[in-house]
Structure formats: C-alpha cells, structure tokens
Amino acid sequence: MKNKNGNTVPEKNIERLLLYRRILANLRREKKTAVFSHQLALMSDASPAQVRRDFMLIGYFGSPVRGYDIDQLIQSINEFVDAQEVQKVTLVGVGHLGRAILNYFQGRSDKLAITAAFDRNPEKVGRVLHGIHCYPTERIQEIVKAEGIDVAIITVPESEAQDVADRLVQAGIRGILNYAPIKLNLPPEIFVDNRDMLLAVEKIAFFARRRIRKESVS
Amino acid sequence: MKNKNGNTVPEKNIERLLLYRRILANLRREKKTAVFSHQLALMSDASPAQVRRDFMLIGYFGSPVRGYDIDQLIQSINEFVDAQEVQKVTLVGVGHLGRAILNYFQGRSDKLAITAAFDRNPEKVGRVLHGIHCYPTERIQEIVKAEGIDVAIITVPESEAQDVADRLVQAGIRGILNYAPIKLNLPPEIFVDNRDMLLAVEKIAFFARRRIRKESVS
DNA sequence: TATCCGCTGTGAATTTGATAACAACGTTAT
DNA sequence: ATAACGTTGTTATCAAATTCACAGCGGATA
C-alpha cells in the first residue's frame, strides 16, 4: 500500500495509528482538546519520537506550543485509515467466540459494520444475534457478493476453516481475520491476520518466566 | 530473557518457534519424520534462512541431507520455550470470550493448564465450566497465590479490567493476556500482550482495501 | 573414483525500524 | 526587549531484523 509519497505503509504504523485514534477518542470524551507527543507516547507504549513520526506519515502537523489538536488529529487519522463509505464485515462461526465479537462490535465503530453472520448449525441459522442475521454457510458466496462485504472474521473450528476461507475468497473477500489455529491456504492478494489464542498464551508464559519488561500491542 | 549466549531473546523469535512447533506436531501426526527449512518456511510464512536462524538460536542442528528430525526438533523447542513443570494459567471473565478460550484450551497443551477461573457474576461462581472451577473475583489474590498461578487471561469488560489486573498483580502474576480494549496500568516487570479485536479488524479493513500481500501471525 | 546435487550453518550485507538530537518557533517571564 | 522554555518536524544515527550468498558436507550418480 502506498501513501502520498508512493511508499508502502508498514503494518506497525497502521497499528499504532489505530491505537492513537482510540486513545484520542477517550481524551476527547474527557473534554481534552489538545495533546503532546510525550503524553500520547505514555498512553500507547511508544516513544515520543515515534509518535511524531507516525503523524509525519499521515501529514498532520501539530503546534510546538499547543501540541496536537485532538479533533483535527482524529480527523486526519480517519482520512488516512478509513474507507470513504462504511466497510462491511462478515463473521463466520457463531459460537462463543463469534458471539463475543458480535457483542463487542456493537456500536464501537462507525466505519466498520458487521452486516451478516454465517454458521453451519441449523439451530443458529435464521436467528438474529445482536441485530445480525445468521445465514447458513452454504450461502456465503451469494450473500457476501450481494452485500459487497470485503472483510471476514473466521471463528469456526479448525476443521471447517479452510472450507469457509475458500468460500469467502470465491465471494471476493479481500481480508481475513482468522481465529482458527490453522494456516489458511489462500491467494497472495488476500490479507490475512492469524490470531491464535494458544500461541498467545504460550508466548506470555515464556516471557512471564523470564521477567521481560516489555508491552506489546496488537 | 537470556539464551545460552547471554543475549535477550526477541519476541518474534519465540512467536515463530511456537508456530514451528505446532506445524511440526501436525507433521508428526502425518507420520513424517524429517523436514527441510524451505518446507517449514512455506508452512509458516517465513523465509528458509529465517527458519534456519531460528534453530540456530535454540542450538538445534539439522543434517544437510535429511533436514531436521521432527521429533528431536520438537524436543529442542520444548526445552527452550517450556517451563520445567506445568505452568498454571487463570482466566478472569467467564463470558462468551472466556468460555471460548476455556473450550479451545481443552487438551491442547500439556505444559500449560488453566486451573481456575473467576467471574463477578454470582450465577457463574461455584459452577464448573469445561472442568474448571469458577470463583468470585474477590478471591483472586487468595487462590492465585495458593495455586502458584503466574499467567492470567483477562476477558472481562473494559470497565472491570484495571481492577482485575490490580488484583492479579497483587497475587503475584507475571504475565497477562489482555483482551479488554484498554491499556492496563501495571508495574513494568509484568509482561502484557494486548489483543484488541476491534483494532485487529480495523487493520485488516485498511490493508484489504489496499491489496497488500502479506500474512502476519500472532 | 570423481562429479554433481541440495541442503545446512553462518558471516556479511542489506533493509527496516527506532532513537537521538537539534534547529525553528511561538509563548512566557523578566 | 530579550532571554529562557518546551515542543514540533526532521535529519542523522543507531539498532534490530532479515536476507544474501557461499563454504562445507554427505549421499547419489555414473
């Protein structure tokens, strides 16, 4: 992906920008109007220099006296990371994890909307959970295409994940958040993020023993 | 954390080693006995050179002819990343997400065991879910200390997360996997990994639009 | 036997990412 | 006035991570 200078944007920059945006939204709720790089740095586990650099990337300029105007900065980040229109998301696998995500999403984002869910289980199909209609897995291609959904969250068991992924790709999906503990075999233009909960705990268990003092965000 | 040469071990190396281990376990299940670096590279989205370097780190040496012996390699990784004894884990917040994790953990790890869960809701307290007893949040300090648990998974709502984290730290926890969308205020020696599901989807939505062809693992 | 092959282990080179450091500049204090 | 302050934007520096590239070697081939 290219920014205005034609360079690709690293994943880490985007992660931090999204994190800043959330912090800024909280600050705004507290009626703050401006913030300095070192304050944001504290709240995001970045260095002040890194914060300033990240804002260079998106072309937002603060004032050496007042710092960064919170409203304007949020606006700049929005313009950089958000799509023009609302981006539609689907969730496949309405088990505990899926429902947790549906629930958590409710009203938290105005630029992303989960507009359809899928499940293999006939008992779940046809029901409406957290305001989202649940369809049978077989209809993924039809509905994802019709709705123009381009991001999917996979929360099905390991054994079904590849099949679901294939259907999603068929349907023209562009990015997948995969919670199944398996590497999906996909064409290279699909952006995938694998988040395995067991690997996550294993990593923490390792560093917990070794007393490393670092904080990582994802 | 130090390896045998006295250098600190980067987080990414550990993440990859844990991923290799899972891949290797699958290969073993398929009755494979050896594997080359380029094969592992394909299966883990790393480069062959990176795979070889990672094994350098743990001091395991393969054969140029046969590649890496799967059983021995798994054993080497185990020795490097696992604790001597079973490491105990607790989960705080037995909602949908918490139950998904309890469920997913069942029988998947022989070196990590969730031995207690906590919840504020009196209806959940006292019950046994997936074989794990659920205690009231107030008893975190008592039980975590008594059991010698040193890793915690936080799956409570944002508003309760800091309070829970404080209790865990009081109880002597060393590492936290935090699913609440908030930065926890903790002493620096606690290792924390924040995994925010909304940020994850936002990131994917961004790159999905831009057709970046990369795969990231965590 | 001699040659070729494909892989490993690793030093060197390269690329990527983070930090340091400082000029520039409003603001405040004196 | 003017000096001192604190922060930004940015360049230069440093560090970390990744890849390159090749010597070395055991086995296969003829």
CA of A65 to C1' of C26 (A): 6
For the cut 60, the answer to whether the pLDDT of residue A85 exceeds it is yes
Both tokens of A198, joined, read 């067991």
For the cut 80, the answer to whether the pLDDT of residue B70 exceeds it is yes
Share of chain A above pLDDT 90, in %: 90
Please list, in sequence order, all residues whose beta carbon lies within 8 angstroms of the beta carbon of residue A165, skipping any fewer than 6 positions away. A154, A176, A178, A184, A185, A186
Residue of least CA–C1' distance to D28: B65
The answer to whether the CB of B154 falls within 8 A of the CB of B89 is no
Q: What is the DSSP string of B72-83?
A: HHHHHHHHHHS-
The answer to whether the Cβ–Cβ distance between A18 and B202 falls below 8 Å is yes
Residue B208 domain-assigned? no
Residue A218 domain-assigned? no
Instruction: Summarize the confidence of residues A209-214 as an average pLDDT.
Output: 61
The residue among A43, A65, A81 that closes a domain is: A81
For the cut 90, the answer to whether the pLDDT of residue A198 exceeds it is yes
For the cut 80, the answer to whether the pLDDT of residue A109 exceeds it is yes
For the cut 50, the answer to whether the pLDDT of residue A4 exceeds it is no
CA of B20 to C1' of D23 (A): 27
For the cut 60, the answer to whether the pLDDT of residue B133 exceeds it is yes
Both tokens of B24, joined, read 């290797």
For the cut 90, the answer to whether the pLDDT of residue B3 exceeds it is no
Same domain, B133 and B194: yes
The residue among A81, A101, A131 that closes a domain is: A81
CA-to-CA distance for B14 and B12, rounded, in angstroms? 5
Same domain, A157 and A75: no
Please list, in sequence order, all residues whose beta carbon lies within 8 angstroms of the beta carbon of residue B75, skipping any fewer than 6 positions away. none
CA-to-CA distance for B79 and A183, rounded, in angstroms? 25
Residue A205 domain-assigned? no
- Write the secondary structure of B17-39 as one string of H (helix), E (strand) and C (coil): HHHHHHHHHHHHHCCCCEECHHH
The strand pair at B215-217 and A128-129 is best described as unpaired
CA separation (Å) from A18 to A71, A85, B117, B177?
15, 18, 31, 20
Same domain, A178 and A160: yes
Same domain, A34 and A77: yes
Same domain, A23 and A113: no
The CATH number for B167's domain is 3.40.50.720
- The verdict on A22 touching B (C-beta cutoff 8 Å) is yes
Instruction: Summarize the confidence of residues B113-142 as an average pLDDT.
Output: 96
Check residue B212 and give its pLDDT: 45
CA of A215 to C1' of C22 (A): 30
Both tokens of A43, joined, read 């709240």
Residue B206 domain-assigned? no
Check residue B215 and give its pLDDT: 60
Same domain, B59 and B134: no
Residue type, A60: Y
Residue A156 domain-assigned? yes
Same domain, A91 and A195: yes
Residue A216 domain-assigned? no
CA of A171 to C1' of D17 (A): 37
Instruction: Residue window 128-147, chain B: list those with CB within 8 Å of chain A.
Output: none
Q: Could you say which DSSP state residue B56 is in?
A: H
State residue A201 phi and psi, 5-degree precision.
-70, -40
Q: Which nucleotide is closest to B48, CA to C1'?
A: D19
Confidence of residue A216 (pLDDT cuts 50, 70, 90): low
Same domain, A184 and A91: yes
The answer to whether the CB of B64 falls within 8 A of the CB of B102 is no
Sheet holding A191-194, edge to edge: A128-129, A132-136, A112-119, A87-92, A151-154, A175-178, A191-194, B215-217
Residue B1 domain-assigned? no
Cβ contacts of B174 on chain A, cutoff 8 Å: 208-209, 211
Which residue of A lies nearest to B26 if distances are taken between CA atoms?
A: A182
Q: What is the mean pLDDT of chain B?
A: 94
CA-to-CA distance for B100 and B96, rounded, in angstroms? 6
User: What digits encode the pLDDT tens for the residues A113-147?
Assistant: 999 999 999 999 999 988 899 999 999 999 999 99
Q: Could you say which DSSP state residue A128 is in?
A: E
Check residue A87 and give its pLDDT: 97
The residue among A81, A108, A140 that closes a domain is: A81
Same domain, B72 and B176: no
Residue A206 domain-assigned? no
For the cut 90, the answer to whether the pLDDT of residue A37 exceeds it is yes
Confidence of residue B210 (pLDDT cuts 50, 70, 90): confident
Q: Which nucleotide is closest to B67, CA to C1'?
A: C7
Q: What pTM was estimated for this model as a whole? A: 0.94
Greatest pairwise CA separation for chain A in angstroms: 61
Q: Count the neighbouring beta carbons within 10 Å of the beta carbon of residue A167.
A: 20
Q: Could you say which DSSP state residue B11 is in?
A: H
The answer to whether the CB of B87 falls within 8 A of the CB of B80 is no
Domain count of chain A?
2
| Burial (Cβ within 10 Å: 0-12, 13-18, ≥19) of residue B24 | buried
Q: What is the mean pLDDT of chain A?
A: 93
Same domain, B41 and B139: no
CA-to-CA distance for A72 and A178, rounded, in angstroms? 34
The answer to whether the CB of B10 falls within 8 A of the CB of B58 is no
Same domain, B128 and B55: no
Q: CB-based contacts with strand C under 7 Å? A: A 10-12, 46-47, 49-50, 52-53, 64-65; B 36-38, 48-49, 52-53, 55-56, 60-65, 67-68
Both tokens of A134, joined, read 């649940």
For the cut 90, the answer to whether the pLDDT of residue B217 exceeds it is no
| Domain of residue B43, residue span | 11-79
Same domain, A66 and A105: no
The CATH number for B18's domain is 1.10.10.10
